[in-house]
Amino acid sequence: MIWTAPIGYNGPVSQPDGAPPVNGPLLDGQGRKIQYLRLSLTDRCNFRCSYCAPMGPDRQEDPLTRPELARVVGVFARLGIRRVRLTGGEPTLRRELLDIVRDVRATPGIEEIALTTNGHALATHALLLREAGVTRLNVSLDTLDPQKLQRISGRAATLERIVSGIEAAFRVGFASVKLNVVVVRGENEDELGNLARFAWRFGATARFIELMPFGPGKPVPTAEVKRLLEAQGIRLEPDATRGWGPAYHMRGSSAVGGEATSGLVGFIGAMTENFCDGCNRVRVGADGSLRACLGGRDRAPLRELIRAGASDEEIAAAVRAALLAKGEKHEMPRGGSGLLPMIGSGG
């Protein structure tokens, strides 16, 4: 089949054999420009968050090696990727994490490195990560109740350790710290105001994320989340702040208990406020597969290509072909059947 250019594409139309172009911007099948790589370093995680890893013990894995990861990042950088987020599983479980960060930082074209963590080891890793090159940090924290945290995230999840890690990140001075809160009906919707105020204490942004269909639980729509925040003492006002990802923000303020606090509040409404029109992301799972869409079902086997001796050009062509097959919107409204698991995709 001959590849045809999406609307808005101004680069080469095709190679003589009909393959996707090897130069020009990295675009998906809808003409959206891809500049942001989410790279999972491991399938392993010491937490068992119901919405991410409802399966049992860790699977045996054969992740990309450190040289393979460096090569993948290099190929993507030459294709126009400018930001890399390191994810998992839990990336701090990867023994070579700091060396991997340094490799990414040394890659020409990469402007920023972010990392998403459950915070369990952050107290000891924060300074090392900052020195290695991580500039932005996301920490998952769904509740401030220790017992509820273990119910949501498993027995290894210890609130005291996570809070110590957030405090350490604040002291180190990352350019940005965000607290990711997945809102689950009947679990934590009564804590949203407290979570926002907690984040502001550390100069962080609380981001409220609609539950996606990767596990059990009932979602709370973003519109309702905003109403709950207002009812819990958070006054919301418009704010133009945007990041690299799908979140949008509002300016929040609170005077609960006589203490005036304020800061940003982020929202990711994957289910009720579809953000696909502005998608700029591509994912590579811990298994080395390219996943053009978190809510999709297709993957391209980059690890197998690498280990079969493919050239950088052949890997780049596989990346372009996979992205050109990406649909207009994610498939999550169809339900979780057949979706790739969240763990190992990096969210």
What is the pLDDT at residue 316?
97
Q: Which residues pair with 139 in a beta bridge?
A: 117, 179
- CA atoms of 57 and 49, how far apart (whole Å): 12
**Contact call for residues 56 and 73 (beta carbons, < 8 A):** no
Neighbours of 340 (CB within 10 A): 20
**Contact call for residues 210 and 183 (beta carbons, < 8 A):** yes
**Dihedral angle, C-alpha 224, 227, 231, 233, nearest 10 °:** 120
Q: Which residues pair with 242 in a beta bridge?
A: 248
Tens digit of pLDDT at every position of the chain (347 positions): 223 333 333 333 333 344 444 567 899 988 999 999 999 999 999 998 888 765 555 555 789 999 999 999 999 999 999 999 999 999 999 999 999 999 999 999 999 999 999 999 999 999 999 999 999 999 999 999 999 999 999 999 999 999 999 999 999 999 999 999 999 999 999 999 999 999 999 999 999 999 977 677 899 999 999 999 999 999 999 999 888 888 899 999 999 877 899 999 999 987 787 767 778 999 999 999 999 887 666 789 999 999 999 999 999 999 999 999 887 655 555 555 555 555 656 55
Where are the domains positioned within the chain? 36-334
Structure tokens at 39: 């790279």
Q: Which fold has domain 36-334?
A: TIM Barrel (3.20.20)
Q: Which of 302, 306, 300 is nearest to 322 (CA)?
A: 300
Total-model pTM: 0.88
- CA atoms of 234 and 315, how far apart (whole Å): 48
Contacts of 60 (CB under 8 A, 6+ apart): none
**Contact call for residues 24 and 12 (beta carbons, < 8 A):** yes
